Amino acid sequence: MRRELHIGGIAVGDHHPYFVVAEIGHNHQGDPELARHLKKIVAARDLPDGHVLVRADLAVRSPGDGMSPHLLDHVLGQRLQCELRRDDDLSTAAIEPPSPRP
């Protein structure tokens, strides 16, 4: 039995070239700044309490319900005050407050 159907006048199925159907989200209207706000910073791997953050420790993921990636440079070099597991959201509660300046 030969399987075949037509999508927009194009034959799809056995003995036809691949046909890919995909959706491209455009919820940021092409604005890179808005796109950054639709993401959050997470741990790229398991991180122990007291660890000083470097770029390789962090990843950016969707949805944007956590710390915004525009703060990434501000958290680098900061020390964790709790352990984070891979893909845990980074939050201000997880980072030691900066030491007061003399």
User: Which CATH number characterizes residue 34's domain?
Assistant: 3.90.1210.10
CA distances, 29 to each of 23, 33, 35, 37, 83 (Å): 15, 10, 8, 12, 36
Residue 51's pLDDT is what?
97
Strands 10-13 and 40-43: unpaired
Containing domain of residue 36, as a range?
4-94
* 22 part of a folded domain: yes
Q: What is the pLDDT of residue 4?
A: 83
Residue 73 lies in a domain: yes
Whole-number pLDDT of residue 36: 61
Report residues of the chain scoring pLDDT below 50: none
pTM exceeds 0.85: no
Q: How many domains does the chain have?
A: 1
